[in-house]
Amino acid sequence: MTRRPMRRVLVANRGEIALRIMRACRDEGLETVAVYSDADAQAPFVRAADQSVRIGPPAPAESYLRIDALIAAAQATGADAVHPGYGFLSERAAFAQAVTDAGLIFIGPPASAIVAMGDKTSARRLMAAAGVPIVPGSTKALTDPDEAAKVATKIGYPVLVKAAAGGGGKGMRIVRTPAELPGALTTASSEALKSFGDGSVYLEKYIELPRHVEIQILADQVRTIHVGERECSIQRRHQKLVEEAPSVAVSAELRERMGAAAVAAGVAVGYRGAGTCEFLLAASGEFYFLEMNTRIQVEHPVTEEVYGVDLVREQLRIASGLPMSIPEGPLVPRGWAIECRITSEDPANGLLPSAGVIQWLRAPAGPGIRWESGVESGSEGTLYYDSMLAKLIAHAPDRARAIAVMQRALQELMVVGVATNVPFHRKLLADPDFQRGDIDIQFLERRPDLMAASDDDAAIERIAIAAALLAEDQRISRRVSAPAGAANAGASASAWTQLARRDGLR
């Protein structure tokens, strides 16, 4: 690949990942272009960019998923490259190809690698051929219930029905008896069709009580390397909630074996840039390839903290034809990092998404804390997009101290106006089993108490509101005592607003 210098990058995403990419671009001396829907017109990531372009109404299908609008925005602003972030079009080969066909640089793997890893059944065949261990099961889509029954009998129950074209728990069903299989095939296929436009499903052996461990890889024109593992076993409905690096279950020897398998996977598809191989790690120490995410991951900060790398900057370097800046030789983890995903989900309402205006936000700070968010006080949460408000990352010399740092940060964090999952994180970090690292992907299924709302949670919420009101009153007092002028203009209205809130609190 020849060198293709970049000057301006269009970020085809929103929220915290858009801000994260823009910061990396600025560190590399690159200009940035934001694209936004009507719902995001006042969002922080739009203000952070050098230029911004409206691309449509709030619905993703009419804005962030419109390839034509994104390409047009890049061309109109003179962008040289497009970074897809994660979600939306980040793993769509058609988007990567459209960017390339428009003469722009796609900051990600080639479309051929996305295609190779996009269909789970073809990826399983490819990985098996490359010597990467896969979970026993079918290597092609199954449409005939009788054929599926034969496969299930051969590999043994329980089995897992999975969507061939997707992930994130969509189109997935656990089947423990032959009688459950026909119904599971039908419902999983229907859900997969709605979620991914492809109803194909396949079967895997269901591994009991495994850990979810993933390996970060980087590949430039010469080298493909791994950057250690992340433990992602704390999940709800196959959605990750907490991630950490390294993993308590992975020794240095196992890290190198899993890393070698992930590198082999990347080489097999001609990978370029940052990617992640996800594995199931059994209690026996055996591991099995699940899938490859051909993009930057939500949880990439824990790897960055522990290994001292900037994965997004490496993406930018590799895309422009430069070699990665990481020296040759094995990388050794330094300390421990934990990430909590802060979402606008209501513990008192079955953790359903909570929409509304964030009236007040106090982000945690101090030693060992990293806060990555796309919202601020005054931001409006909407049901059009993912419920994640922010990522809270703690880094310390060891796991016990990283947990303590995270607990301190969670106590400092206050969000008023929308319900959040912060009470869950506080309870999880205090749980003895979690503190011992005694976890697996079914951990939260066995511990519904950690997800349930409590009277203590309600009390903390009331304290948070009271603290927010006090802080706002103090701010108003300072404005009122300041010299007359523009700074004083909104004091009266704010005072009325605070009076109404106090009445509501009573």
Span 195-214, pLDDT tens digits: 888 899 999 999 989 999 99
- pLDDT level of residue 347 (50, 70, 90 thresholds): confident
Section 52-64 average pLDDT? 97
CA-angle at 27, arms to 25 and 32, nearest 5°: 25
Query: Taking the model in full, what pTM does it have?
Result: 0.86
3-class SS at 143?
A: coil
pLDDT of the residue at 494: 46
The answer to whether residue 397 scores a pLDDT higher than 60 is: yes
Section 65-87 average pLDDT? 98
Q: What is the rounded CA–CA span in Å between residue 168 and residue 163?
A: 10
Q: What is the rounded CA–CA span in Å between residue 77 and residue 21?
A: 18
| Closest residue by Cα to residue 266 from 473, 113, 433, 429 | 113
pLDDT of the residue at 352: 84
Examine the residue annotation and report whether 14 is marked as an active-site residue of this protein. no
Q: What is the rounded CA–CA span in Å between residue 320 and residue 6?
A: 6
The answer to whether residue 98 scores a pLDDT higher than 60 is: yes
The answer to whether residue 486 scores a pLDDT higher than 60 is: no
Query: Around Cβ 462, how many Cβ atoms within 10 Å?
Result: 11
Section 426-452 average pLDDT? 96
Token readout for 98 is 């459209």
CA-angle at 319, arms to 316 and 9, nearest 5°: 55
- pLDDT level of residue 495 (50, 70, 90 thresholds): very low
CB contact at 8 A, 31 and 7: yes
Token readout for 438 is 């005694």
Q: Which of 155-159, 234-238, 488-492 has the highest mean pLDDT?
A: 155-159
Query: Around Cβ 244, how many Cβ atoms within 10 Å?
Result: 28
More confident residue, 122 or 326: 326
Q: What is the rounded CA–CA span in Å between residue 298 and residue 16?
A: 10
**DSSP state at residue 219:** E
- pLDDT level of residue 137 (50, 70, 90 thresholds): very high
Sequence-separated (6 or more) residues with CB below 8 Å from residue 174: 158, 159, 160, 161, 184, 206
pLDDT of the residue at 505: 42
| Closest residue by Cα to residue 204 from 97, 266, 278 | 278
Q: Find the catalytic residue in 124, 173, 230, 295.
A: 295
**DSSP state at residue 486:** G
The answer to whether residue 441 scores a pLDDT higher than 50 is: yes
Query: Around Cβ 35, how many Cβ atoms within 10 Å?
Result: 30
Strands 81-83 and 8-11: parallel
Phi, psi of 459 (to 5 degrees): -65, -40
The answer to whether residue 502 scores a pLDDT higher than 60 is: no
The answer to whether residue 460 scores a pLDDT higher than 70 is: no
More confident residue, 65 or 458: 65
- pLDDT level of residue 115 (50, 70, 90 thresholds): very high
Give tens-digit pLDDT for 160-195: 999 988 766 788 999 999 999 999 999 999 999 888
